[in-house]
Amino acid sequence: MTLQVSLKHRFAGFDLDVAFEAPSGVTALFGRSGSGKTTVINAVAGLLRPDQGHVTADGITLLDRSRGIDLPPYLRRVGYVFQDSRLFPHLTVRQNLLYGRWFAPKGPGVSFDRIVELLDIAPLLSRRPGTLSGGEKQRVAIGRAILCNPRLLALDEPLAALDEARKAEILPYLERLRDEVRLPILYVSHAMAEVARLANTVVLMEAGRVAAVGPTAEILSDPDAAPGLGLREAGALLTATVAAQDEDGLTRLDCAAGPLWLPKVAAPLGTSLRIRILAQDVMVAATRPEGTSALNILSATVRDIRHGMGPGTLVRLDAHGETILARITRRSAEALGLTPGKPVFAVLKAVSVAQESVGVKRA
């Protein structure tokens, strides 16, 4: 099941012109504020009528302005999760969750009990929205959107209004959702940490245009996309398995690039994880460093080098099939004589990988 989107819309002083295809799984619309992300999902959900556009989901045309097709929101069945949750204040949590059921076509949707369990909201069912915390509200809003049996889910910065602790509370639920509910999910965000953890596909947006589309790991480690992502956010995404929990509190993860030791990752052995390694946390050495405190030293070859406008350089490394991105100075790159194909070592401090950039990924 895929979603095809092509839209043109002219605002005062801003042109939107995008086209992309979203396969099943989470497709993140990533970009700065004002790049047109929310406009895109509003047009998909029918909350905004673009000047020109074509949207099909699951082979069903939701919008085709050239043929005069423009389904109203209630017929599009795009489960929308708003930034400000928008729960109905006069209804209980249970009634909010069941609201869409009234209107949904009868069919095999996800069961109410399953969603309540998945989002851990059973204790909230008889409460009213006014008494919920921000994180709880957002979980209920997500459940409400899924339970209307939608063709796809559209989440508009669902975590943006929450503090860091609440974000960390909700992210695991979104991961479970992605892995268990077979729905295409459009996820608007300007937070790279969320995108790195959740997205299967990234649509990178800049000033109303699509700057890049592709699998998350590829886009995140693409030096060409780095300026759009923000240099501090550029980095690689590795898929690893929990291999051992060492006694001194470190966790050994195995990935194609080799073993990695990270501060304790609380996950059972064999769990598949995605780990985000920021380019600025990776050092490059021409010879295997000796006598260093860094625990993670991976052998790799240089794939390509991209000099920035300033003194910085992004080096893309190939570590036994995994891509690693390193951000170093141009001076160092020249001193080391880095050229494509040169064997090097990527050095990563164990503590550099923040807990929030380790996400659970189920098969």
Partner 1 sequence: MTDWLTPNEWRAVALSLRVSFWATLVSLPIGLLVAYALARWNFWGKQLLNGLVHLPLILPPVVTGYLLLITFGRKGTVGQYLDQWFGIVFAFRWTGAALAAAVMAFPLMVRAMRLAIEAVDPKLEQAAGTLGASRPWVFLTVTLPLILPGIIAGAILAFAKAMGEFGATITFVSNIPGQTQTLPSAIYAFLQVPGGEGSAARLVWIAIIIAMAALLLSEWVAKAVARRISGQ
Q: Which residues bind partner 1 (CB under 8 A)?
A: 45-47, 72-74, 76-80, 82, 84, 86-90, 99-100, 102-104, 128-131, 144-145, 148
Neighbour-count burial for 125-136, b at 16+ CB within 10 Å, e otherwise: eeebbeebebbb
Distance between CA atoms of 353 and 195, rounded to whole angstroms?
Answer: 16
Pick the closer one to partner 1 by CB: 76 or 276: 76
Phi, psi torsion values for 85, nearest 5 degrees: 40, -40
| Smallest separation (angstroms) from partner 1 to the CB of 149 | 8
| Smallest separation (angstroms) from partner 1 to the CB of 104 | 6
Pick the closer one to partner 1 by CB: 71 or 360: 71
The pair of structure tokens assigned to 90 is 């006069």
| Smallest separation (angstroms) from partner 1 to the CB of 74 | 5
8 A C-beta contact, residue 169 and residue 137: no
| Smallest separation (angstroms) from partner 1 to the CB of 89 | 3
Distance between CA atoms of 179 and 25, rounded to whole angstroms?
Answer: 8
Pick the closer one to partner 1 by CB: 68 or 105: 105
> DSSP characters for 62-116?
EEEGGGTEE--HHHH-EEEE-TT----TTS-HHHHHHGGGGTSPSS----HHHHH
Distance between CA atoms of 279 and 277, rounded to whole angstroms?
Answer: 6
Element (H, E) at 227: helix 226-229
Proportion of the chain in helix, strand, coil states, percent, rounded to 5: 30, 35, 35
Pick the closer one to partner 1 by CB: 90 or 320: 90
Pick the closer one to partner 1 by CB: 151 or 349: 151
Phi, psi torsion values for 114, nearest 5 degrees: -65, -45
| Smallest separation (angstroms) from partner 1 to the CB of 63 | 14
| Smallest separation (angstroms) from partner 1 to the CB of 105 | 9
| Smallest separation (angstroms) from partner 1 to the CB of 155 | 12
> DSSP characters for 116-149?
HHHHT-GGGTTS-GGGS-HHHHHHHHHHHHHHT-
Pick the closer one to partner 1 by CB: 63 or 328: 63
Pick the closer one to partner 1 by CB: 86 or 330: 86
